[in-house]
Amino acid sequence: MYCSVILRGAIRQTDNLYTYRVPEELRADTHAGSLVSVPFGKGDSKKTAVVVNVIEEFNGDARYIKDIDSLLSQTPVLNPDQLELIEKVSERLNCTRGDVVELMVPSCVVNHRNPIEQFAELVSRDKAEEVLQSEKLRSAAHINILEYLLERGKCTRKELMSSVSCSSAQINSLERKGLIRLVKEVSDNEVPQLAISSDIPEGKFTEEYDLSDEQQDAVNEILKGIDSRKDNTYLLFGITGSGKTEVYLNIAKKVISEGGSVIYMVPEISLTPQTINWIKGRLGDSVAVLHSRLTDKQRYEQWNNIRTGKARVVVGPRSGVFAPAKDLRLIILDEEHDGSYKAESHPRYSARDIARMRAKITGCSVVLGSATPSVESFYAAQAGAYKLLELKNRARSEATLPEIIPVDMKEQIKLGSGDMLSLPLRQAMSVAFSENKQVILLLNRRGFSRTLVCEDCGEPVTCKNCSVAMTLHNNRRNGTQSLICHYCGYTVPSYEARCSFCSGNRFKKAGFGTQQLEEFLHSVFPHEKVLRMDQDSTMTPGAHKEIIEKFAAKEASILIGTQMIAKGLDFPDVTVVGVLGADLMLASSSFKASERAFQLITQAAGRAGRGEHPGKVFIQSFRPEQPLLQFACTQNYRAFYEQEIEYRQKLKLPPYKALGEIVLSLADEELLIKRANEVASYLNAFLGFQDPKYQFEIYGPMPCVIYELRGRYRMSFVIKAVNKSAINGVFKRLIADFDHMKYPMSFDNDPQDG
């Protein structure tokens, strides 16, 4: 018997199917999907691999075929549908099959070993019988041991000691006489399983509701789709507080009651104890949770419960999409627009894409839920590729939408209130504190640290071709500074830059930080306690959870933070939310800047007035009249979408065209520039010969937004084309024609951030 394997984590040179012989004793347990250890290469170094198929006969020359070393798990670690997915994902992401195996078989599984025990067995039955008959043995214990082994065969040392009541020394002495053999092996005992039902919370978490008509319609529609087994994708578009979670829980419950499995993904940051308790409270002991704070052992236990089918619901972040769910019938992506569903390191997968690919293979349904869908998803729903389901009302009739109030910071600065907290916001905060209520202040700092804003009007400098913010680049070789568009490479020396809004020519670095804000708050509200949640304050594991718990327990009245706090948290006593520096969200160098800003404001607004108390949301901006902020203030997603989709069409951005990004990085800057130019001439020559139907456009080389990273300099190219497979075609040529050691390139066919 033989098998073909894929090496886990294979590099391109070793990403082949390799054939191994399956030794006699492993045949019964070796199947497609088994995890094995194999000798590989000249030195026979041990590699971890997954069996993709098993064959009885081998047609080639079998002399050079090596044996599998051992099985690393008693039962297969991958289901047939996952094996089928490997090829498709590696094709889609331009990564090796071994990379995909690594995503599906996390290291906790490879590192896991069943408890190893020592077994005793006879060296030879004949010899044992002969010794017994000859009556040479004087120790009764020795005689008992041999008789026991003759009768029962191999058994563990422990069993032997308790059954014949002998000592360890007596067993060892028989081994020295050459009559028995002691071997270490994996015991058959099943891994002790974590009682996943042990900590199910009571009370509000288990409460069920009568669904509203809208919710019921959505549930019915999705259940119909699940029954049809036709890989339907639904976009559940429902305003914040419309009860989307209730829809997910109802459909999930139905699926598990029929013996199917569910993958239920939430953004990393929303994977809080609150969320987990809610889901566990309702779906009970069939829930397994995968999140980054688990130890290897806990993670293995959760993963193993999923694989054995003991757990029917997998709750996790984006990596959950690769979980070995049995009889998968439903994949949910809550907050489908969230950036954390896209991996930002190799392989750069998007959980949404993988979910759709798994659906095609298994016939399961995919539910994407959001109050502010990604433009790409809403477009797909408009085009009929996804089915649109809408929830237009808040689920709890008493919950009112918060009042959203735009504040003009130009006026505020004139009034002398500075650029951090406007007067109306300050007053509302005072009122909230006097009523023992809480305040959240949101300050998004992501992605604009390298952009400049106009000193007069607060606007970022934008590219004349692409209308995204340009990024500041220090040219260290001649000491100059320039502003560069990350999409088309358009460059302006910084002294020539003009504000595209008011033509001003004085610029400053944008914004202030959370620490500065915290200090300012201490001076304005000296009696209020402040909690700060940002990258610095959440470095240590568990810090994030601790801050949330403190705020929920009302140990502080103000929570300030970055986009982290805008998501999924439910604090009933928050009545005021301030979004500070709303313009800065638009000053990011990504084509998704507007989309992100709209999503963030909507989410922030969803934090206010979740309890019985109506909430107020203040949006501080230098240009509150701009349409995007107006749409955000009136929570008009469709108006936002119409404006945004027009911009995307005009500039040939997704969903109208596919984008690809190539990043070349080297430690030697001179060499980087030389090689980037070589890649550029290759690309220009190659694309020049392509059929116009692919609509290729190429930009670059240009310095990356983050030019220096971990001791390397980075240059990028941007390609636009009619679709992703055209982009992938270019990537494949580059992979084939350039030596990866000399030209280390990374490829992304779905870049999200500049």
Q: 3-class SS at 338?
A: coil
Name the minimum Å distance from CB 644 to ligand ADP: 22
CB-nearer residue toward ligand ADP: 497 or 604 = 604
- The C-alpha atoms of residue 230 and residue 385 are separated, in whole angstroms, by 13
CB-nearer residue toward ligand ADP: 190 or 207 = 207
CB-nearer residue toward ligand ADP: 593 or 617 = 617
Angle between helices 724-737 and 669-688 (to 10 degrees): 120
Cα diameter, the chain: 110
- The C-alpha atoms of residue 453 and residue 462 are separated, in whole angstroms, by 10
List the interface residues with ligand ADP, window 71-90 (CB under 6 A): none
CB-nearer residue toward ligand ADP: 322 or 551 = 551
Buried-state track 318-338, b at ≥16 Cβ within 10 A, e below 16: bbbbbbbbbebbbbbbbbbbb
- The C-alpha atoms of residue 234 and residue 368 are separated, in whole angstroms, by 6
Distance of alpha carbon 504 from its chain centroid, rounded? 41
- Contacting ligand ADP (CB under 6 A), which of 242, 302, 377, 514? 242
Name the minimum Å distance from CB 213 to ligand ADP: 10
DSSP codes joined into one string, 364-431:
-EEEEEESS--HHHHHHHHTTSSEEEEE-S-SSTTPPPPEEEEEEHHHHHHTT-TTTS-HHHHHHHHH
CB-nearer residue toward ligand ADP: 72 or 218 = 218
Name the minimum Å distance from CB 338 to ligand ADP: 13
Name the binder of 245 from Zn ion, ligand ADP, none, CB < 5-8 A by kind. Answer: ligand ADP
Name the minimum Å distance from CB 688 to Zn ion: 22
- Contacting Zn ion (CB under 5 A), which of 488, 531, 547, 651? 488
Name the minimum Å distance from CB 207 to ligand ADP: 7
**Which among 32-40, 239-247, 484-492, 643-651 is the span making contact with ligand ADP, rule CB under 6 A?**
239-247
Q: Name residue 40's beta-bridge partners.
A: 45
For residues 368 to 397, the per-residue mask of contacts with ligand ADP, x marking binding by CB under 6 A and - elsewhere, is ---------------------------xx-
Name the binder of 316 from ligand ADP, Zn ion, none, CB < 5-8 A by kind. Answer: none
Name the binder of 490 from Zn ion, ligand ADP, none, CB < 5-8 A by kind. Answer: Zn ion
Q: Which two tokens mark 176? A: 């020295």
Cis peptide before 106 (omega within 30 of 0): no
What kind and span of H or E run contains 313?
strand 313-316
- The C-alpha atoms of residue 289 and residue 320 are separated, in whole angstroms, by 9
Q: Are 368 and 116 in contact (CB under 8 A)?
A: no
Name the binder of 463 from ligand ADP, Zn ion, none, CB < 5-8 A by kind. Answer: Zn ion
Which is nearest to 325 in space by CA: 306, 297, 340?
A: 306
**336 phi, psi to nearest 5 deg:** -60, -20
List the interface residues with Zn ion, window 424-463 (CB under 5 A): 463
- The C-alpha atoms of residue 21 and residue 669 are separated, in whole angstroms, by 49
- Contacting ligand ADP (CB under 6 A), which of 243, 281, 460, 754? 243
For the CA atoms of 181, 184, 190, 193, the dihedral, rounded to the nearest 10 degrees, stands at 150
- Contacting ligand ADP (CB under 6 A), which of 48, 73, 94, 240? 240
- Contacting Zn ion (CB under 5 A), which of 122, 252, 357, 485? 485
Kindly state whether residue 538 participates in binding ligand ADP, applying the rule CB under 6 A. Answer: no
Q: Which residue has the tokens 């390799």?
A: 18
CB-nearer residue toward ligand ADP: 218 or 658 = 218
Name the binder of 458 from ligand ADP, Zn ion, none, CB < 5-8 A by kind. Answer: none
Name the minimum Å distance from CB 368 to Zn ion: 30
**47 phi, psi to nearest 5 deg:** -125, 150
Name the minimum Å distance from CB 392 to ligand ADP: 11
Kindly state whether residue 490 participates in binding Zn ion, applying the rule CB under 5 A. Answer: yes
Compute how many other C-beta atoms are within 10 angstroms of the C-beta atom of residue 149: 21
> Hey, CA dihedral for 420, 424, 425, 427, is it positive or negative?
positive
**333 phi, psi to nearest 5 deg:** -120, 105
Q: 3-class SS at 531?
A: strand
Number of residues that bind Zn ion (CB under 5 A): 7
Kindly state whether residue 244 participates in binding ligand ADP, applying the rule CB under 6 A. Answer: yes
Q: Which two tokens mark 74? A: 């008693």
For residues 220 to 239, the per-residue mask of contacts with Zn ion, x marking binding by CB under 5 A and - elsewhere, is --------------------
CB-nearer residue toward ligand ADP: 395 or 428 = 395
Name the binder of 242 from Zn ion, ligand ADP, none, CB < 5-8 A by kind. Answer: ligand ADP
List the interface residues with ligand ADP, window 205-234 (CB under 6 A): 209-212, 215
Name the minimum Å distance from CB 629 to Zn ion: 23
Name the minimum Å distance from CB 477 to Zn ion: 23
Number of residues that bind ligand ADP (CB under 6 A): 15
CB-nearer residue toward Zn ion: 125 or 498 = 498
Cis peptide before 39 (omega within 30 of 0): no
Kindly state whether residue 471 participates in binding ligand ADP, applying the rule CB under 6 A. Answer: no
CB-nearer residue toward Zn ion: 470 or 531 = 470
DSSP codes joined into one string, 595-634:
HHHHHHHHHHHHHTT-SSS--EEEEEES-TTSHHHHHHHT
- Contacting ligand ADP (CB under 6 A), which of 33, 238, 460, 754? 238
Strand order in the sheet with 616-621: 403-408, 616-621, 574-580, 438-443, 558-561, 530-533
**Which among 102-110, 204-212, 658-666, 670-678 is the span making contact with ligand ADP, rule CB under 6 A?**
204-212
Contacts 24+ apart (CB under 8 A), 341-344: 341/265, 341/267, 342/318, 342/750, 342/752, 343/318, 344/753
Q: Which two tokens mark 662? A: 């190539």
Compute how many other C-beta atoms are within 10 angstroms of the C-beta atom of residue 191: 16
- The C-alpha atoms of residue 710 and residue 731 are separated, in whole angstroms, by 24
CB-nearer residue toward ligand ADP: 242 or 377 = 242
Name the binder of 243 from ligand ADP, Zn ion, none, CB < 5-8 A by kind. Answer: ligand ADP
Kindly state whether residue 466 participates in binding Zn ion, applying the rule CB under 5 A. Answer: yes
Which is nearest to 316 in space by CA: 247, 369, 252, 264?
A: 264
- Contacting ligand ADP (CB under 6 A), which of 9, 106, 241, 700? 241
For residues 245 to 264, the per-residue mask of contacts with ligand ADP, x marking binding by CB under 6 A and - elsewhere, is xx------------------
Name the minimum Å distance from CB 206 to ligand ADP: 11
Name the minimum Å distance from CB 620 to ligand ADP: 24
Name the minimum Å distance from CB 253 to ligand ADP: 14
- Contacting Zn ion (CB under 5 A), which of 172, 197, 216, 465? 465
CB-nearer residue toward ligand ADP: 640 or 717 = 640
Which is nearest to 744 in space by CA: 663, 660, 659?
A: 663
Name the minimum Å distance from CB 718 to Zn ion: 9
Kindly state whether residue 447 participates in binding ligand ADP, applying the rule CB under 6 A. Answer: no
Q: Are 233 and 356 in contact (CB under 8 A)?
A: yes
CB-nearer residue toward ligand ADP: 90 or 240 = 240
**Which among 307-315, 364-372, 485-493, 598-606 is the span making contact with Zn ion, rule CB under 5 A?**
485-493
Name the minimum Å distance from CB 592 to Zn ion: 15
Residue numbers at the binding site for ligand ADP (CB under 6 A): 209-212, 215, 238, 240-246, 395-396
Residue numbers at the binding site for Zn ion (CB under 5 A): 463, 465-466, 485, 487-488, 490
